[in-house]
Amino acid sequence: MSKELPSGWVFAPIYDTFAPLADGKILHQGWSPQCERQPADNDQQWAALKTTAIQYGFFDGRHNKKLPDHLEPRPHLEVRTGDILLTCAGPRERCGVSCLVKEARPKLMISGKMYRFRANDELVSPSYLSAFLRCTQSKEQIDEMKTGISESGMNLTRARFSQIQVPIPPRKEQERITRTINSASERLSRARDELAHIPKLIDRYRQAVLKSAFRGDLTADWRNGEGPKWREVEALRLFDEGPTNGYSPKAAADAAGTKSLKLSATTTGTFILNDQTTKRLLEEVSPEAKFWLRPGDILIQRANSLEYVGATAIFDGPAGQYIYPDLMMRVRIASPTTRLFFWRYMNSPSARNWLKDRATGTAGNMPKISGTLLKVLPVPLPPEEEQAEIVSRIEQRFAAIETIANEFRQAVKHVDRLDQSILDKAFSGRLVTQDPTDEPASTLLERIQAARAAAPKVKQGRSKTVE
């Protein structure tokens, strides 16, 4: 962290920027009771916040769990407008996330995995302090302070967090900084809102291409005006093998057995093979078992949320190294052309909606489709030559769509970089001009520290966390 600051600025531990809370304490850590799974029904029911209520720069109180009726709430932990919340436990990327609460419904309590504090508005504005906690300078300090035995279980202790160094400009300059940040943030927010529509448009266009392809419209010019010489067949007529359900013995993070796919390997409709989409089993599956995958195998999700049930992908990993789980079915089609045609058809609105309408499942369980149902799925089947042309035209259009999708992703990254660049300039004194007539922050800090030293001491204690 650079120690060079503009004239009139001063570094101070973040603890010195806090104002006393309602009970006189400076920092609260919450309580994690055994809550119900669902959120509170209304703002008259007490609930504990989930850490996902805290996002970079904004608060979403809908992420909560209802407090059971037999537990007494702890009103002193209730979130209030003007609080700053910060996650103090969780995966590395989620530990240290903060937000300023601009609005909150009543009866929401902070949980044991978050801190709550308020800015001493005489020294720093809440908006200034909240923005600082999102800049690179702050993130780097916090990241160095985290402790834990794994990336998925990090902690930020109260003692370490309290020593984060905050660059404090004169109070009037803070106002100029926050006005500039807020103005830029509003423009960037509008840009994000506009960009947010693009993924839906991209997906809608992909679905339109598939819909056109499997009703014969996409290749109408290829047929030179002739009607489609198609026939409807049951999917079973295309299969050379299957459908066959997979196998799901127990797995573990430290297991060293057979490698298996997770559902996420095929959820997108395109096969993805990486550490996040695979797992190790506790046992070694026999080399003679029927579950080993080979390139070209078609994998169909037979159980998932209704949105994903029936999602289909073609395995293109190495032969004989992975098995697939029981929540998937496998079919094999010898013809490479028909294989690609069927894969694309399975991810089309026609096939997916047909399967969704017939999926079974009870409330609270994942909808399921069976191999028996898959066998009778109606497939509009053109001659193999036209199948190849349909697949080719789908690929061409999807490649063009992917170019747009890549441009969208780059635009999102650019907006994020702009946001971070503005924050980094703000807290290095490069965002607004300095005014030599502003009262130096050091003078103000000394006055506040003297007042705090003279005030009665309040014993600090950690709230008990009950997991």
Per-residue pLDDT tens over the stretch 172-219: 999 999 999 999 999 998 998 899 999 999 999 999 999 999 999 999
What pLDDT is recorded for position 77?
95
- Assign domain 10-170+434-454 to its CATH superfamily: DNA methylase specificity domains (3.90.220.20)
Residue linked to tokens 């927010």: 189
Per-residue pLDDT tens over the stretch 339-376: 999 999 999 999 999 999 999 875 456 789 999 999 99
User: What percentage of the chain carries pLDDT values higher than 70?
Assistant: 96
Q: What mean pLDDT is reported for the chain? A: 91
| CATH hierarchy code of domain 231-381 | 3.90.220.20
Alpha helices in 146-219 (DSSP H): 158-161, 171-213
- Cα–Cα distance, 311 to 306 (Å, whole number): 10
Task: Give the pLDDT band (50/70/90) at residue 403.
Answer: very high
Query: Do β-strands 241-245 and 328-332 pair in parallel, antiparallel, or remain unpaired?
Result: antiparallel
Residue-level length of the chain: 467
Structure tokens at 17: 């920027």
Per-residue pLDDT tens over the stretch 323-339: 999 999 999 999 999 99
Q: Rounded to the nearest 5 degrees, what angle is found at the Cα of 354, between the Cα atoms of 352 and 359? A: 90
- Cα–Cα distance, 163 to 89 (Å, whole number): 17
Q: Residue 428 burial by CB count (10 A; 0-12/13-18/19+): exposed, middle or buried?
A: middle
- Cα–Cα distance, 395 to 401 (Å, whole number): 10
More confident call, 213 vs 456: 213
Residue 429 to residues 7, 27, 157, 218, 438, Cα–Cα distance (Å): 9, 28, 29, 58, 14
pLDDT above 90: residue 239: yes
What pLDDT is recorded for position 467?
33
User: What percentage of the chain carries pLDDT values higher than 90?
Assistant: 79
Containing H/E element for 394? Answer: helix 384-426
Per-residue pLDDT tens over the stretch 51-75: 999 998 899 999 999 999 999 999 9
Structure tokens at 40: 């509170």
Per-residue pLDDT tens over the stretch 135-157: 999 999 999 999 998 888 899 99
Longest dimension (CA), the chain: 93
pLDDT above 60: residue 436: yes
Same fold yes or no, 10-170+434-454 and 231-381: yes
- Cα–Cα distance, 38 to 211 (Å, whole number): 38
What pLDDT is recorded for position 465?
39
Which pTM was predicted?
Answer: 0.72
Domain boundaries, the chain: 10-170+434-454, 231-381
CB contact set of 396 (below 8 Å; sequence gap of 6+): none
